[in-house]
Amino acid sequence: MGDFIMIDINKGRYWDEGITLVSSCTKCSPGCDHCWALAMEQRFKPEFKNQVQCHPERLKRFNTRKPKVFAVWNDLFHEAVPDEFIHDVYWKMYREPQNTYLILTKRPQRMLEYKQSPHRPLPNKIWHGLTVCNQQEADEKIPIFLRVPGKKFLSIEPMLAPINIQLELLQMGNLGEDGRGHRMASDNIDAVLLGGETGPGARPMQIEWVRSIRDQCQGANVPFFFKGWGKWGVNWMNDDNGMIAGSEWMDKGIKKSGRVLDGRTHDDLPWVK
């Protein structure tokens, strides 16, 4: 952990501060079925339902003294967000280079189109992230996402089905290594985050799905961060051979379900040095 970054990894966080620069959204994936942001909006601001709004006033939160890792969510690349606002967000990130910015989208086509427009080279502290929840979404969106320049990570959350991403992880161009032995390339996925669903109606995630992603990342030497099981948990025990085994699913709630997979947590975040 670095001198400044204070991410609360024990809570499954990979960011210091989440920031909603765009409020409201429209569903575009099975992973949106139980969208927390839309549920909150429906509850507290029903008059704004499905009305995408940009919040330029929140950009001043990037004015930090100590570097922070910001997670920018609620889709900056939604089709209703004007290009001008996206420009303003990038301009501000360039102006505050002490921070790390994680920009998450479920809409890689618009992210790619925006990133293809000519502008200054991307600093290493701006990371683009794609969220997928099942194989179909991965197959459709990852090939587009791989063409986005710069540092990239995949967020598999909520994980709703097994996913094979091995080809994408292995689709490496000119490989180098960072100081920690991780391979790096401009056209591949530099990190994978994974988490189960939370909240009312959450769908359970199976142990084998998570193990498979862990193993694919390990095989490709790509950093893997396991955010947690979500609302549904696993009972861990030792089997007859003394090996760790997981048993049936229980609705434990997010605090109790925890982040352990086969006896350990997976905390590898490349932006935390």
What x-and-dash track marks residues 93-112 binding ligand SF4 by CB under 6 A?
-------------x------
Task: Examine residue 37 and tell whether it contacts ligand SF4 (CB under 6 A).
Answer: yes
Q: Give the closest residue to 134 by CA, choosing from 30, 261, 217, 208.
A: 30
Q: Looking at 22-30, 113-121, 180-188, 199-207, which segment touches ligand SF4 (CB under 6 A)?
A: 22-30
- Is residue 28 at the binding interface for ligand SF4, with CB under 6 A as the rule? yes
75 contributes a contact to ligand SF4 by CB under 6 A: yes
* CA pair distance 65, 63, nearest whole angstrom: 7
Do 165 and 133 form a contact (C-beta atoms < 8 A)? no
C-beta of 28 vs 172, nearer to ligand SF4: 28
**Is there a contact between 74 and 43 (Cβ–Cβ < 8 Å)?**
no
Q: Does the footprint of ligand SF4 cover residue 25 (CB under 6 A)?
A: yes
User: 214, exposed or middle or buried, with CB in 10 Å at 0-12, 13-18, 19+?
Assistant: middle
Name the segment binding ligand SF4 (CB under 6 A); options: 20-28, 87-95, 143-151, 228-236: 20-28
| Min dist. Cβ of residue 140 to ligand SF4 (A) | 15
Using rule CB under 6 A, residue 74 touches ligand SF4: yes
Decide: is 156 part of the binding site for ligand SF4 (CB under 6 A): no
Nearer to ligand SF4, 75 or 96 (CB): 75
Interface with ligand SF4: number of residues (CB under 6 A)? 10
Nearer to ligand SF4 by Cβ, of 34 and 214: the residue is: 34
Q: Residue 32 interacts with ligand SF4 (CB under 6 A)?
A: yes
106 versus 227: smaller Cβ distance to ligand SF4: 106
Give the nearest distance from C-beta 131 to ligand SF4 in angstroms.
7
DSSP the chain: --SS----GGGT---SEEEESEE-----SGGGTT-HHHHHHHHH-GGGTT--EE-GGGGGGG--SS--EEEEES-TT-TTS-HHHHHHHHHHHHH-TTSEEEEEES-HHHHHHHHHS--SPPPTTEEEEEEE-SHHHHHHHHHHHTTS-SEEEEEE-S--S----HHHHH--SS-EE-TTS-EE-TTS--EEEEE---STTPPP--HHHHHHHHHHHHHHT--EEEEE-TTEEEEEEE-TTS-EEEEEEEE--HHHH-S-BTTB--B--TT--
CB of 189 to ligand SF4, least distance (A): 19
Task: Say whether residue 193 binds ligand SF4 (CB under 6 A).
Answer: no
Bridge-based pairing state of the strands 53-54 and 22-23: antiparallel
35 binds ligand SF4 (CB under 6 A): yes
Comparison of 31 and 246: residue with beta carbon closer to ligand SF4: 31
- Shortest Cβ 113–ligand SF4 spacing (Å): 17
Binding region for ligand SF4 (CB under 6 A) out of 9-17, 28-36, 122-130, 162-170: 28-36
- Binding footprint of ligand SF4 on the chain (CB under 6 A): 25, 27-28, 32, 35, 37-38, 74-75, 106
